[in-house]
Amino acid sequence: MSSVPPSPRAQANYSWHLANRNKRGMVIDLKSPAATEVLKRLVDWADVVITNFPHGTREKLHLGYEEVAGWNPRVVYADITGFGDAGPDAGQPGFDLTAAWSRSGLLASTRDAGAPPTVPVWGSGDYMSAIAIYAAVVTALYRRERTGQGASVGTSLLAGASGPRERLWPAHSPAAHRSSCTTGRRRRTR
């Protein structure tokens, strides 16, 4: 992926290093029995837990909301999926290109008529969802300061990309077919 335009040529994954510079990481084998104790200690210390494991998998790994909130009732649990928590695709894995760009319609909206879709900047769909989850987490932290209670918040790659698509290309959105206005401007009513 490092050599795919518009990323500059690099020996390593340029986009990953750009997004993750100056971060520290830890590796825990969540399938090992000892990992649950380490995870409990981390959650007890944490303000926010973010997961993008699919539902079902996160519960097997002791990362489901109910278990995590039981360890730390003040924690803000941030849940990111590919296609949301309900519907026929809720259990499907989601990736930047498939969930954010293709399924939202953004990919088709970024091309000239008759031309193939453009190649989006890698990870840019992830960034849209990151902004949405950031807003949800900050709001939940503010609420926690007022109430003392943690919360579960979430978004999906599809939701993160659908909002910008509705605003940037309203004439091509599903909502445009339900409305008489396809120019992106609201009609004034008197």
Active-site residue list? 126
Helix axes 124-147, 157-168, angle to 10 degrees: 110
Q: Is the peptide bond before 6 cis (omega within 30 degrees of 0)?
A: yes
Given a contact cutoff of 8 angstroms between Cβ atoms, the answer to whether 172 and 109 are in contact is yes
Query: Residue 27: in which H helix or E strand, if any?
Result: none
Alpha-carbon gap, residue 182 to 178, rounded angstroms: 10
User: Exposed, middle or buried, 16 (CB in 10 Å: 0-12/13-18/19+)?
Assistant: middle
Alpha-carbon gap, residue 29 to 117, rounded angstroms: 39
Q: Which residues contact 14 (CB under 8 A, 6 or more apart)?
A: 2, 7, 8
Starting at the edge strand found earlier in the chain, the sheet holding 48-51 runs 48-51, 76-81, 151-156
